[in-house]
Structure 1
Amino acid sequence: MASTLLPTLLPPVSRAVAFLLRTPPKPFRSHHPLFRSLPASASSPSTPPTYHSLVTMASAGIPARRDLLMLGIETSCDDTAAAVVRGDGEILSQAIASQSDLLVKWGGVAPKMAEEAHALAIDQVVQKALDDANVSETDLSAVAVTIGPGLSLCLRVGVHKARKIAKVFGLPIVGVHHMEAHALVSRLVNKDLDYPFLALLISGGHNLLVLAQNLGEYVQLGTTIDDAIGEAYDKSARWLGLDIRKGGGPALEELALEGDPNSIKFTVPMRQQKDCNFSYAGLKTQVRLAIESRNLCTDDIPISSATEEDRQLRANIAASFQRIAVLHLEDRCQRAVEWALKMKPSIKNFVVLLLTSMLGPA
């Protein structure tokens, strides 16, 4: 079956609107029934379960607060994860199966390999989450599952598992937008965090700046138009011949500590663009050209075998890249704060969520 990305819940902001800021970006609600876009398969139940969103759960008759007991399933990228959470935010259990060995073998996330790993792990991970919480499927109020954005092949594994549980035990399904969940997890940790708040979401495959006005009501101020910062870190780390078994981001950051961040004059992306979008494709190209122009044989000589001079050159490239990558984040965040204050003068909190170890898709 061909891999197709599921639609996301975050519509793009008009570039003209973003530039002029005469009309604020239009708010939207997050209860799109994305499950209906999934193609049927032999393993799908003949009668689909009832689908809900975070916003419509109350109207569906699902119990509120502590009486709510949710099983959450996440398979959007390279980790198979499940958790059992009460409605008041208490996490009863969580289980994760990592694909770190596959990341090293394939130099990143290989969607087909990741799908197969999810399929092998999903039953065991879900059962462990239930066992650790000392509950069974009959105790659940609903099943929540990530429906996008993410790798389609991987998402389907979690969705099919959720559909199966919902069918057998007569449970509703709550479709969760991956990035919405990340934005809202801050309220799980800090229960005093009130709406509205501004959120910067940073991951291997996505960068988003979102004004959260209420549950299910968001204004997307900026998004990734080509490559996210995690992808840029990952590719740069590989081009520099680093050991990325623990992630491209940590490896590059460690090497950057040895370098001079001002030694190479990389250009900050999109300084002339008056919006809040992110672009790291050009910075990746600058890194590649810097490596080539200095005749660094990073493909044949890993960092562990590099000469002292070679290692210093690589460290300078890493440090210079990291400085510009962060400056780009700062530029977009500064503009987003200005926009958010114009739209919601009462806003007081800016939440930053680092979602992965910055090892982007292959």
Structure 2
Amino acid sequence: MSIVLGLESSCDETAVALVTSDRQILAQRIASQDEAHRPFGGVVPELAARAHAERLAPMVETVLAEAGLTLADVDGIAATAGPGLIGGVMIGLVTGKALAMAADKPLIAVNHLEGHALSARLTDSSLEFPYLLLLVSGGHCQLLAVEGVGRFRRLATTIDDAVGEAFDKSAKVMGLGFPGGPAVERAARGGDPRRFALPRPLLGTDEPHFSFAGLKSAVLRSWAALDAPGAQAQADMAASFQAAATDCLVDRTARAMAVAKGPLVVAGGVASNAHIRGALAGLAETHGRRFVAPPAWLCTDNAAMIAWAGVERLALGLVDGLDAPARARWPLDPDAAPARGAGVRA
């Protein structure tokens, strides 16, 4: 059995975890920065980086102490090396390098997206390759054929905004607060999804990719047209937006099922949305596919998934030198054909 220490600092969650090769999470800590960023309605990179720098080392000490271990007992150090806010990525990766060098342990520079992509295998030992992955978060919206560790074939991406970004911006328009995704989901529970006729970009087309900019703009226009909207208008708009976004995700995923084998897996922060999970589970059942989703806490940014990706890579001898770079962008499939549209996320 191997033990890997994972570090995550790519956005606004500082996280540390110890995970074993037999899928035990020995200890973990996640420190949220929501209160610091809430007044700004979004993540401020400088504030995020400063918080990572202050919190990461003490959290490593705490997690090791809780597990009753020292660095000498660890078999590898896995740190997020990108993609993400470069200041935070650098702090986490430099910390990982320092620990690896001090303890003479291998460093595993983990792609944050691969952490999400493999997270379902941490909690589901029966999930084997290949599988179709819908990766949905604040910065990414992709469909990938996952053929193995480090082996990804991108089938679709967003040509403008990620679905998580659309959730956050729509929440801001409606005055629902930050973070926007959970706020929209809560408000939508009491809303009428048919009240606002919002668009479903690219629905039913041969275009494989996603688009959410038009949906986000439609929310802005529809909200601005209301006269003194109250709580019920918030709930109805949230429900209408969530239904439209879900329809787009289901439609594009159904299209990808025609070319990708294996179970349908959903991961990433938006995968914690129960309405979206339910719709995708229904899609998988309709197509006779198994549906797998990590627990909601494992969908949002955390270090357990980074440590697990480290476990998988370490088992294959995929380790990195201390010169491993921090990357603001790092596509899982660097050979994927370019997608049309401004602001395409790799």
TM-score, normalised via structure 2 length: 0.74
What amino acid sits opposite 1:160 in the alignment? V
Cα-to-partner distance string for 1:241-300 (whole Å, 9 max, x where unaligned): 1243xx31222222223332122211101236423322211111111111122244xxxx
Quote the Cα distance in structure 1 between the aligned partners of 2:190 and 2:24: 42
SS in 2 for 1:339: coil
Name the count of aligned residue pairs.
274
SS in 1 for 2:139: coil
Change beyond 3 A, Cα 1:312–1:79:
same
Change beyond 3 A, Cα 1:89–1:350:
same
Say whether residues 1:314 and 2:248 are aligned partners: no
Query: What is the aligned partner in structure 1 of residue 213 from structure 2?
Result: 281
Query: What is the aligned partner in structure 2 of residue 214 from structure 1?
Result: 148
Tell me the CA shift for residue 143 of structure 1: 0.7
Query: What is the aligned partner in structure 1 of residue 202 from structure 2?
Result: 270
Query: What is the aligned partner in structure 2 of residue 199 from structure 1?
Result: 133
Quote the Cα distance in structure 1 between the aligned partners of 2:26 and 2:191: 44
The answer to whether the 8 A contact 2:203-2:252 is kept is: no
Quote the Cα distance in structure 2 between the aligned partners of 1:121 and 1:220: 35
The answer to whether the 8 A contact 1:208-1:223 is kept is: yes
Say whether residues 1:178 and 2:112 are aligned partners: yes
Alignment map for 1:212-251 (pairs within 5 Å): 212-244=146-178, 247-251=179-183
The answer to whether the 8 A contact 1:221-1:276 is kept is: yes
Tell me the CA shift for residue 225 of structure 1: 2.5
Change beyond 3 A, Cα 1:86–1:256:
closer
Q: Whose Rg is larger?
A: 1
SS in 2 for 1:200: strand
What amino acid sits opposite 1:355 in the alignment? G
The answer to whether the 8 A contact 2:204-2:251 is kept is: no
Which of residues 332, 344, 348 in structure 1 aligns to 2:252? 332
Quote the Cα distance in structure 1 between the aligned partners of 2:46 and 2:159: 25
Quote the Cα distance in structure 2 between the aligned partners of 1:156 and 1:353: 24
Alignment map for 1:95-110 (pairs within 5 Å): 95-110=29-44
Quote the Cα distance in structure 1 between the aligned partners of 2:230 and 2:102: 60
**Percent of pairs identical after alignment?**
40
Alignment map for 1:1-362 (pairs within 5 Å): 66=1, 68-244=2-178, 247-271=179-203, 273-296=205-228, 310-340=230-260, 344=261, 347=262, 349-355=263-269
What amino acid sits opposite 2:115 in the alignment? A
The answer to whether the 8 A contact 1:275-1:335 is kept is: no
The answer to whether the 8 A contact 2:184-2:238 is kept is: yes
Quote the Cα distance in structure 2 between the aligned partners of 1:251 and 1:165: 38
Greater Cα offset, 118-127 or 317-326: 317-326
Choose between structure 1 and 2 for higher RCO, CA contacts under 8 A separated by at least 6 residues: 2
Quote the Cα distance in structure 1 between the aligned partners of 2:127 and 2:203: 32
Change beyond 3 A, Cα 1:152–1:260:
same
Quote the Cα distance in structure 2 between the aligned partners of 1:95 and 1:264: 41
The answer to whether the 8 A contact 2:143-2:256 is kept is: yes
Cα-to-partner distance string for 1:77-103 (whole Å, 9 max, x where unaligned): 111111112222222111121112113
Quote the Cα distance in structure 1 between the aligned partners of 2:208 and 2:172: 28
Cα-to-partner distance string for 1:121-140 (whole Å, 9 max, x where unaligned): 01111111111121111222
Tell me the CA shift for residue 118 of structure 1: 0.5
> Any runs of at least 4 consecutive aligned residues in structure 1 with deviations exceeding 6 A, and if so which?
357-360
Change beyond 3 A, Cα 1:86–1:237:
same
Query: What is the aligned partner in structure 2 of residue 21 from structure 1?
Result: none
Give 5+ residue unaligned stretches, structure 1.
1-65, 297-308
Quote the Cα distance in structure 1 between the aligned partners of 2:54 and 2:258: 47
The answer to whether the 8 A contact 1:266-1:321 is kept is: yes
